[in-house]
């Protein structure tokens, strides 16, 4: 018993010593009264060259667990603040969290993406695999950009289908039931392929940093199944139902791919309207807003548009990225315009072979 007591008192003495020692090592915290703030400011101004700044917290923090960018680990903390909270600058969205159809408003920020060293987040729309040998493929983009430590963000459609398939199904089948059945059949025939394509992309990582931490090289998000122009959609119509079925189908495939490739990963959910066209009609907007809310989808627009799909120009793609570095938005018609804090560059997977020179050049120019 006495032995134990001695041990205890030695332990507490040691603890006291440690505390005292820690106190010596840690400089006293500067009180944050107005006066001390003022004097600190003056001091640092006078002695910037030889006096270390003493009023910063010097606790050694245990390194936090590395969480790669792109998941909702960031989104849950920030989305409500950055995207839906009153009082925050939320880009081109009116400053009102109760704004109707708020999930449909095309925001120009991705809370899950840090602004990269090359200025703008790189997004690539449409099918992950080109429909002819000269078209770009998502996997080529990732393989070209990952060694440069650049992340590729894809907005995908279902492979090898388009609005033409919908027109055909609608013409061939006269009842809603049959039309939806045929659409379902077509989508299901593509499920395995889309999941496989996505898995092959989202498993790729960027080169690791000095601590061995590596970011994922890309993410895949939703661009509808059939790339329908949604501006004229009427809620309740077969075209609308087909469109929703396709959006839900993509989400299912992405869920499956992420579950398999990144178990435990809480993925972010973004959506981009084909042609950037949101629906016109109020009833459609209201219904779609509900679907987006249910699926957790956030609609993403762009700040840098090089019209790469039309002009295939690496020079314009380059110009759009250089504008981003200067916090300017860009489009080929007006050149630089407006301001942006977190530029989002919009390109197309298909045009990669034609535009990549410009994009890689912009990334390499630090
Ligand atoms: Zn598109």
DSSP one-letter string for 38-84 = HHHHHHHHHTTTTS---SS--PPPPPPPP--TTBHHHHHHHIIIIIT
Helix (H) or strand (E) holding 189: helix 176-202
Span from the CA of 312 to the centroid of ligand 1 (angstroms) = 15
Span from the CA of 349 to the centroid of ligand 1 (angstroms) = 9
pLDDT for residue 355 is more than 90: yes
Per the structure, how many domains does the chain have?
A: 1
Whether residue 127 lies inside any domain: the answer is yes
**Higher-pLDDT residue of 83, 115:** 115
**Residue pLDDT, tens place only, 153-199:** 999 999 999 999 999 999 999 999 999 999 999 999 999 999 999 99
Tell me the C-alpha distance between 308 and 301, whole Å: 16
Whether residue 29 lies inside any domain: the answer is no
- Read off the pTM: 0.80
pLDDT for residue 38 is more than 50: no
Record the tokens describing residue 214, joined without a space. Answer: 């590596």
CATH number for the domain spanning 116: value is 3.20.20.370
pLDDT for residue 243 is more than 90: yes
**Residue pLDDT, tens place only, 104-156:** 888 887 888 989 999 999 999 999 999 899 999 999 999 999 999 999 999 99
Span from the CA of 66 to the centroid of ligand 1 (angstroms) = 33
Span from the CA of 231 to the centroid of ligand 1 (angstroms) = 14
Whether residue 58 lies inside any domain: the answer is no
What is the torsion angle, in degrees rounded to the nearest 10, for the CA atoms of residue 36, residue 42, residue 43 and residue 49? Answer: 150
Residue whose structure tokens are 């790339």: 227
Residues 6+ apart with CB under 8 A from 317: 306, 308, 347, 355, 358, 359, 362
Span from the CA of 126 to the centroid of ligand 1 (angstroms) = 5
pLDDT for residue 39 is more than 80: no
Work out the pLDDT band at 28, boundaries 50, 70, 90. very low
pLDDT for residue 342 is more than 50: yes
Half-sphere exposure of 288 (CA within 13 A, CB side): 32
Record the tokens describing residue 319, joined without a space. Answer: 């110009």
Task: State mean pLDDT over 279-287.
Answer: 95
Task: State mean pLDDT over 334-342.
Answer: 92
Tell me the C-alpha distance between 75 and 98, whole Å: 19
**Residue pLDDT, tens place only, 47-79:** 334 444 444 455 566 667 888 888 877 666 555
Whether residue 157 lies inside any domain: the answer is yes
Span from the CA of 351 to the centroid of ligand 1 (angstroms) = 12
Rounded to the nearest integer, the mean pLDDT of the chain is 83
Span from the CA of 275 to the centroid of ligand 1 (angstroms) = 6
Task: State mean pLDDT over 335-340.
Answer: 94
Span from the CA of 308 to the centroid of ligand 1 (angstroms) = 12
Whether residue 343 lies inside any domain: the answer is yes
The pLDDT score that the predictor gives to residue 199 is: 98
Span from the CA of 71 to the centroid of ligand 1 (angstroms) = 23
Helix (H) or strand (E) holding 174: none
Whether residue 64 lies inside any domain: the answer is no
Whether residue 25 lies inside any domain: the answer is no
Span from the CA of 49 to the centroid of ligand 1 (angstroms) = 54
Span from the CA of 311 to the centroid of ligand 1 (angstroms) = 15
Span from the CA of 303 to the centroid of ligand 1 (angstroms) = 16
Comparing 89-93, 191-195, 284-288, the range with the smallest average pLDDT is: 89-93
| Structural domain range at position 195 | 72-84+101-364
Helix (H) or strand (E) holding 212: none
pLDDT for residue 359 is more than 60: yes
Half-sphere exposure of 279 (CA within 13 A, CB side): 20
The pLDDT score that the predictor gives to residue 79 is: 59
Nearest to 53 by CA among 41, 65, 66, 62: 41
Whether residue 265 lies inside any domain: the answer is yes
């Amino acid at each position: 018993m006495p032995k134990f007591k001695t041990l205890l008192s030695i332990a507490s003495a040691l603890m006291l010593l440690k505390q005292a020692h820690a106190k010596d090592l840690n400089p006293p915290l500067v009180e944050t009264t107005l006066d001390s703030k003022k004097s600190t400011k003056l001091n640092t101004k006078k002695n910037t060259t030889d006096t270390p700044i003493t009023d910063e917290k010097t606790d050694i923090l245990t390194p936090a667990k590395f969480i790669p960018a792109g998941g909702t680990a960031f989104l849950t903390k920030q989305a409500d603040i950055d995207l839906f909270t009153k009082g925050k600058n939320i880009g081109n969205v009116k400053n009102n969290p109760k704004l109707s159809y708020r999930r449909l408003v095309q925001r120009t920020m991705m809370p899950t993406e840090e602004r990269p060293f090359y200025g703008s987040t790189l997004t690539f729309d449409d099918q992950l695999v080109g429909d002819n040998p000269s078209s770009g493929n998502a996997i080529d983009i990732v393989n070209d950009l990952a060694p440069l430590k650049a992340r590729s963000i894809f907005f995908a459609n279902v492979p090898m289908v388009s609005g033409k398939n919908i027109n055909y199904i609608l013409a061939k089948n006269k009842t809603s039931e049959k039309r939806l059945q045929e659409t379902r059949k077509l989508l299901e025939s593509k499920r395995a392929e889309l999941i496989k394509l996505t898995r092959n992309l989202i498993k790729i990582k960027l080169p690791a940093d000095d601590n061995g931490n590596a970011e994922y090289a890309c993410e895949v998000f939703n661009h509808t199944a059939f790339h329908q122009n949604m501006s004229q959609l009427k809620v309740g119509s077969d075209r609308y139902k087909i469109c929703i079925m396709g959006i839900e189908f993509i989400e299912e495939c992405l869920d499956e791919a992420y579950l398999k490739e990144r178990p435990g990963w809480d993925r972010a959910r973004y959506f981009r309207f084909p042609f950037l066209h949101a629906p016109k009609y109020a009833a459609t907007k209201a219904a779609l807003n509900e679907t987006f809310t249910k699926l957790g989808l956030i609609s993403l627009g762009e700040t840098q548009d090089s019209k790469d799909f039309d002009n295939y120009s690496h020079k314009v793609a380059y110009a759009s990225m250089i504008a981003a570095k200067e916090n300017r938005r860009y489009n080929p018609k007006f050149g630089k315009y407006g301001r942006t804090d977190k530029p989002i560059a919009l390109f197309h997977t298909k045009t990669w072979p034609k535009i990549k020179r410009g994009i890689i050049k912009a990334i390499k120019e630090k």
